[in-house]
Amino acid sequence: MEAVQDLPPGTAPGLRTKSQLQRRRRILQAAAALASRGGVEAMQMRTVAERAGVALGTLYRYFPSKMDLVVAVVGEELDMLESSIARRPPAAATPDGRAVDVLMRATRGLMREPELADALIRALILADVELPFGDRMAGLLLRVAGLSDGRATEEQGVLAASLGAVWVQELLEMLRGRRTYEDIQRRIEIAASRLLAEFPASRAE
Amino acid sequence: MEAVQDLPPGTAPGLRTKSQLQRRRRILQAAAALASRGGVEAMQMRTVAERAGVALGTLYRYFPSKMDLVVAVVGEELDMLESSIARRPPAAATPDGRAVDVLMRATRGLMREPELADALIRALILADVELPFGDRMAGLLLRVAGLSDGRATEEQGVLAASLGAVWVQELLEMLRGRRTYEDIQRRIEIAASRLLAEFPASRAE
DNA sequence: ACACTTACTAGAATCCGTTCTAACTTCGGT
DNA sequence: ACCGAAGTTAGAACGGATTCTAGTAAGTGT
């Protein structure tokens, strides 16, 4: 039901030859493209396989389940977010301001491909997978709030993770059509101001 | 994909005869029982129908999709939580203390049937359904924090919903085996103390 | 080049949610 | 007591994820 053991989680090990890396890339690309249209339902394993030019069995060798495939796609999206943040770091003065900045940037990114976003978020939540998602997002928030992962106290870790949880929830509500972008921004700001107040290098409260 | 229109959402209208109410009850009971064991996968529509003593088609008449069935089961659980709270209201002195009390009580309840909890929580999050879950839980938190729904400001509503989101997330992590009961308690306390500080009748901060 | 393990392919097969069909009951109104 | 509408039933049928099979390529060591 999960396991991405012998298969490379990311740009990692396991794929011996160049053609295997390319296959993997083609698969991920096909999956993302399909999900960008009809969402999860359009991203059928047969279709992904066909579009990637591999046999169904091969697809399952690379990604033991649809979920694993989705998780991999999400991973790539997260990579992109992180590099975007590295390129143009959030400029706000306060830690919570920077966190909001990052989350809303991610929100905009996801809104560009709502079907994809829907598929990804839901799959992520469903995943049995030890998904490095919550952790990754929390780490990211800690970092932009001004703490290099290691230096954070437990409480700060919890607070960053909490803000991440709130964001995910709001995203889900948006996908259900119950939030606008502005709603999310306002709500995330409220939550962030409480959760991230008094962080190091915080605002003058 | 959803729609429980002509069918009674709860103890509501739509079911004419007594035997229909009983059928509905038998279905929900069978579903919960099955989910208590093998989780979602054990709760197969065919099996539920068989165990409830109705035809598959009838099951689908009462609950147009598996999701609707799950949502109904969750609704019943929530009913039980609310009546439990009515019977024995949280006693803590501060709003956030009472909120933590309620959430941990719900957590214990869910932990008693981990497979069921897993199935329900995930299904809920997935649901396209306009599920009254987040809202219901947020309203509940507001109430125990000391505000009868209507009287809350938007900010307070957001904060209560945020705490609910954090709780759900922690629950998911627990179901993944990454949190103990004590972890959750500690983390919820941290988040609640931030999110619900300065509520009316709040502690002396 | 040869043998051999490993990867890949095409396609059938299985499992489960959901839908459809045709016949049988139950119920409300008369 | 009888009729038509709505509710039930057993079971077949469909669709998509996942698994399985037999055979074909590709990569590795000698």
pLDDT category at A152 given cuts 50, 70, 90 is confident
Residue A8 has pLDDT above 80, yes or no: no
8 Å CB contact between A65 and A115: no
Per residue, the 3-state secondary structure of chain B, as one string, reads: CCCCCCCCCCCCCCCCCHHHHHHHHHHHHHHHHHHHCCHHHHCCHHHHHHHHCCCHHHHHHHCCCHHHHHHHHHHHHHHHHHHHHHHCCCCCCCHHHHHHHHHHHHHHHHHCCHHHHHHHHHHHHHCCCCCCHHHHHHHHHHHHHCCCHHHCCHHHHHHHHHHHHHHHHHHHHHHCCCCCHHHHHHHHHHHHHHHCCCCCCCCCC
Q: Does A168 touch chain B (CB under 8 A)?
A: yes
If phi > 0 it is left, if psi is from -120 to 50 it is alpha, else beta; for residue B3 that is left
Q: Chain B within 8 Å of A51 (Cβ-Cβ)?
A: no
Q: What is d(CA B153, CA A158) in angstroms, rounded to the nearest whole number? A: 26
* Both structure tokens of B192: 């609640």
10 Å CB burial of residue A105 (0-12, 13-18, 19+) is middle
User: Minimal CA–CA distance to B25: which of B38, B14, B10?
Assistant: B10
CA-to-C1' span, B22 to C30 (A): 29
The region of weakest confidence among A48-57, A74-83, B160-169 is: A74-83
- What is the mean predicted confidence (pLDDT) over A47-65? 96
Work out the average pLDDT over A85-107.
95
State CA A185 to chain mean position distance: 18
> Which of B122, B166, B172 is closest, CB to CB, to A162?
B166
**pLDDT at site B173:** 87
Q: How high is the pLDDT of residue A170?
A: 92
Asked if pLDDT for residue A197 goes beyond 90, the answer is no
Contact between the CB of B20 and strand C at under 7 Å = no
Whether B205 and chain A come into contact, CB under 8 Å, resolves to no
Q: List the single residue in A with minimal CA-CA distance to B160.
A: A191
Whether B165 sits inside 8 A of A161 (CB atoms) is no
Dihedrals phi, psi of B56, to nearest 5 degrees: -55, -45
Helices then strands, each counted (H, E), chain A: 9, 0
Q: Which of the pair, A122 or A45, is modelled with greater confidence?
A: A45
**More confident: B63 or A147:** B63
Q: What is the mean pLDDT of residues A165-188?
A: 91
**Residue-range domains of chain A with CATH:** 18-64 (1.10.10.60), 67-195 (1.10.357.10)
Weakly modelled stretches of chain B, pLDDT under 70: 1-16, 126-132, 149, 200-205
Return phi, psi of residue A160, to 5°: -65, -45
Mean pLDDT confidence for A147-175: 89
The pLDDT of residue A1 is: 38
Q: Does A65 touch chain B (CB under 8 A)?
A: no
Give the span between the Cα atoms of A195 and A190, in whole angstroms. 9
Closest chain B C-alpha to A107 CA, distance in angstroms: 17
B190: closest CA of chain A, how far (Å): 7
Q: What is the mean pLDDT of residues A9-26?
A: 73
The CA–CA distances, whole Å, from B14 to A163, B18, B22, B55, B62 equal 41, 11, 13, 19, 10
**pLDDT for A127:** 65
> A162–B122: do the CB atoms touch at under 8 Å?
no
Residues of A in contact with B194 (CB under 8 A): 159, 194-195, 197
**Amino acid at position B149, single letter:** D
Whether A134 contacts chain B with CB within 8 A = yes
Per the CB < 8 Å rule, is A191 touching B155? no
Q: Give Cβ neighbours of residue B153 (< 8 Å, ≥ 6 apart).
A: none
- The reply to whether B15 touches chain A by the CB within 8 Å rule is no
Task: Give dist(CA B179, CA B147) in Å, integer.
Answer: 31
For chain A, the average pLDDT equals 84
Instruction: Give the confidence band of A3 by pLDDT, cuts at 50, 70, 90.
Output: very low
Spatial distance from the CA of B54 to the C1' of D13 (Å): 20
Q: Which amino acid is at B73?
A: V
Interface test with B, best of A155, A158, A182 (most B CBs within 10 A): A158
**Would you say the C-beta of B41 is within 7 Å of strand C?**
yes
Sign for the pseudo-dihedral over CA of A70, A75, A76, A81: positive
Please give the pLDDT value at position A146. Answer: 86
Is any atom of nucleic acid chain C found less than 7 Å from the CB of residue A177?
no
Q: What is the pLDDT of residues B91-132, one digit of tens each?
A: 999 999 999 999 999 999 888 888 888 877 777 776 665 566
